[in-house]
Structure 1
Amino acid sequence: MTSVPSSTVKPLISGRRGPAEMVVLKTFLLVPFVALVAAVPLLWGWGLSWVDAALFVVFYTFGTLGVTVGYHRYFTHGAFKAPRALRIALAVSGSMAVQGSVIFWVASHRRHHAFADREGDPHSPWLFGTSPAALLRGFWHAHMGWMFKREVTNADRFAPDLVGDRDLRLVNRFFALWIALSVALPAALGGLITWSWWGAVTAFFWAGLVRIALLHHVTWSVNSVCHLIGERPFASRDKAANFWPLAILSMGESWHNSHHADPTCARHGVLRGQVDVSARVIWLFERFGWATDVRWPRADRLAAKRKA
């Protein structure tokens, strides 16, 4: 796999979402967001138990690693090779983050790298200019506004390897099932552990809706915040930056300048003290024999990219 397919003949856009698709999309973007807003007063007075908190952490970690290790570093950039069982597990795990099906996500992100911060990038904050008003508009667009557009990135151009994979097409087709499981499993476990309907309700809220919303905004912040502010120790063709406050929640994705300087590298936090949980998970996969041909940082490549 390569991060940017060589074909430039096929169009960027393969079609437009219909009205029904837009309703479903807005529902799964906005309902968790409303839950996240409501979580602030709820957390102050009632409704959060240790069971909810534990389930939140477990499902947040599972979904986040599905996106960072699976969708991003493996499927999009080919940072390592994996056997069939792990490929399928990573695709399902990423799907349960409710950020889009595996083929949609990978195609969109490869397009982002092909046109980073230029015309054609689906979510650059710099597309409208550099004035304060333009950057405010760009921030909204990069953070979540781009997802409300009807256009769909052409997967045949940007992700032909995934389109041609029977297993991934099947996982992609059942995206609605993975969404349902993402919200139903925390509720079921909360109810069983507490042996109460109220335990199911609070787990559904905290480990289901609020967890999905937080993960959404952490990931979207890599698109918006990490292309606006932060440190840029490495040379890249765009404005990607390292933003350390998001390093833990994003599990290493906010070392974004390092990533754009060397997109196929399995580790994004390449400098001393840069915590990268996703890279550690890939390291464990390698130790267990589940990941091979891992593209770890090389001193010569880092030195060549390092700014004077």
Structure 2
Amino acid sequence: MTTTLDKTEDSAAGDKGPKPMFEGQRNMATQIAVYVFILVPFAALIAAVPLAWGWGLTWVDVILAVAFYWITLLGVTVGYHRLFTHNSFKAKRGTRILLAVMGSLAVQSPPITWVADHRRHHAFSDRDGDPHSPWLFGTSPWALAKGFWHAHMGWIFDKDVTNKERFAPDLMADKDLVRVNKLFVVFTTLTFLLPALLGGLITMSWWGALTAFFWAGFVRVAILHHITWSTNSICHMIGERPFKSRDKAANFWPLAILSGGESWHNLHHADPTCARHGVQRGQIDISARVIWIFEKLGWVYDVRWPTQQRLARLAVGKD
């Protein structure tokens, strides 16, 4: 099965063979920033448990946290993942820029970096070269525990940087995406300051700004991080596999809503360019519904929706 990713890899390789997998290593400042923006929200998430018991959480905080969660989640699932990584649909320029900005607010790395990592994941899924497979260390209990940690968040601290010229040459030629990529620090700052600003204006208090900064900023980012990372870890370890894929990608229904449909991971790896991941009865895929709405509004087009014939060919037990 030839996918858009395969074609991108072929074009990137040229006549001289494939480019190196890595383009170098993060410098010290970037590495420190990675630790800060991964571990600080995680610390806030841990602190949120006792704090929520009777201090500092209001309905304003909840509403802002939920709103920013879905804005940033859809930026990742619809924008970073289904549009930029897999070309599951085409989008008008304004929509492309909007989705790239929304994804940047998730603090998961700039769009071109995210896409390069994820395309490498698909090119080497659950094999050597995959940046976050839980199966790289063996199948013993200790190896799987180590693999789970690596797939979930350990891989993020690796210093090696995926070669963007090899895995995302199309995005590096997109001036709009390059501009958004360069503004990642600005969007990272805004994703924490905007909730604080809104919280302060709504409550007309500095305390409202502070609690919104904590709940709709750090805690929201931490929850989104772990939901996204669970697709890398849990959805490659346990779950159902009704479709044929060359790896261990599986469906894990408890995460379906919180992940925006990304945890219907088996079909995605069986058919990476498909715009909808939850294709069976009862499989809620909010990201696909958003793409459908955008299509009706004329914001996106050439959507690669699943067909019954293709799903039948991909089903387990079918040749």
- For the pair 1:209 / 2:250, whether they are aligned, the reply is no
What residue number does 2:136 align with?
Answer: 127
What residue number does 1:26 align with?
Answer: 35
What residue number does 2:258 align with?
Answer: 249
SS, match of residue 24 in structure 2: strand
Letter in 1 for 2:205: S
1:1-308 to structure 2, matched below 5 A, reads 2-4=4-6, 5=8, 6=10, 7=13, 9-308=18-317
Letter in 2 for 1:156: E
Describe the superposition over 1:61-112 as per-residue Cα deviations: whole angstroms up to 9, x where unpaired: 0000000000000000000000110010010000000000000000000000
SS, match of residue 161 in structure 2: strand
Listed as ranges, the gaps of 5+ residues in structure 1 are none
* Aligned-CA RMSD value: 0.8
Letter in 2 for 1:2: T
Instruction: Give the Cα–Cα distance (whole angstroms) in 2 for the partners of residues 217 and 2 of structure 1.
Output: 28
SS, match of residue 45 in structure 1: coil
> How many aligned positions are there?
308
Q: CA deviation at 1:295?
A: 0.3
Q: CA deviation at 1:9?
A: 1.4
Q: CA deviation at 1:45?
A: 1.4
Instruction: Give the Cα–Cα distance (whole angstroms) in 2 for the partners of residues 37 and 9 of structure 1.
Output: 43
Instruction: Give the Cα–Cα distance (whole angstroms) in 2 for the partners of residues 46 and 2 of structure 1.
Output: 50
TM-score, normalised with respect to structure 2? 0.96
Letter in 2 for 1:292: Y
Instruction: Give the Cα–Cα distance (whole angstroms) in 1 for the partners of residues 316 and 19 of structure 2.
Output: 36
Instruction: Give the Cα–Cα distance (whole angstroms) in 1 for the partners of residues 241 and 18 of structure 2.
Output: 33
Q: CA deviation at 1:294?
A: 0.3
Q: CA deviation at 1:3?
A: 2.5
Listed as ranges, the gaps of 5+ residues in structure 2 are none
Describe the superposition over 1:252-304 as per-residue Cα deviations: whole angstroms up to 9, x where unpaired: 00000010011000000000000000000000000001110000011111001
Instruction: Give the Cα–Cα distance (whole angstroms) in 2 for the partners of residues 98 and 22 of structure 1.
Output: 14
Instruction: Give the Cα–Cα distance (whole angstroms) in 2 for the partners of residues 305 and 217 of structure 1.
Output: 30
Instruction: Give the Cα–Cα distance (whole angstroms) in 2 for the partners of residues 264 and 171 of structure 1.
Output: 24
SS, match of residue 46 in structure 1: coil
Letter in 2 for 1:197: W
Letter in 2 for 1:219: T
Instruction: Give the Cα–Cα distance (whole angstroms) in 2 for the partners of residues 92 and 141 of structure 1.
Output: 28
Describe the superposition over 1:121-166 as per-residue Cα deviations: whole angstroms up to 9, x where unpaired: 0000000001110010000000000010100000000000100111
Q: CA deviation at 1:230?
A: 0.4
SS, match of residue 14 in structure 1: strand
SS, match of residue 96 in structure 2: helix
SS, match of residue 138 in structure 2: coil
SS, match of residue 123 in structure 1: coil
Letter in 1 for 2:207: W
Letter in 1 for 2:32: V
